[in-house]
Amino acid sequence: MKTDAKLAQELNQIIQDRKSLDKRETELKEFFKTRMSNLGTDTLSVGGILVSMVAKSRSGLDAKALTIALGEEKIAEFQKVTEYVQVDVKLEDAACEKVAA
């Protein structure tokens, strides 16, 4: 059975690995986006992998503009708050340095 310390270290390592993987994913997607744009195509077949660019859009509401236009009280009627608990993971040395600063 793993100790709490081992589990905390494993959790920290997983978080660091995921950050590294996310960064690499972004770099590779940008590479292929640039490559496809330079080739004038939106799809590449490379080594049995199909890489495609798909144009999408998303929309959102400008909360600040709505608040100015309708007032805080009116906006508050439609505001939804979700409460949750977040688990933060940091190496103790880094956390201590921030507290000491």
What is the model's pTM?
Answer: 0.70
pLDDT of residue 92: 86
Closest CA to 40 of 53, 26, 57, 22: 53
Closest CA to 70 of 59, 58, 62, 60: 62
pLDDT in tens, the chain (101 residues): 889 999 999 999 999 999 999 999 999 999 999 999 999 999 999 999 999 999 999 999 999 999 999 999 999 999 899 999 998 888 887 656 655 55
Which residue is associated with the tokens 């744009």? Answer: 37
Phi, psi of 43 (to 5 degrees): -145, 135
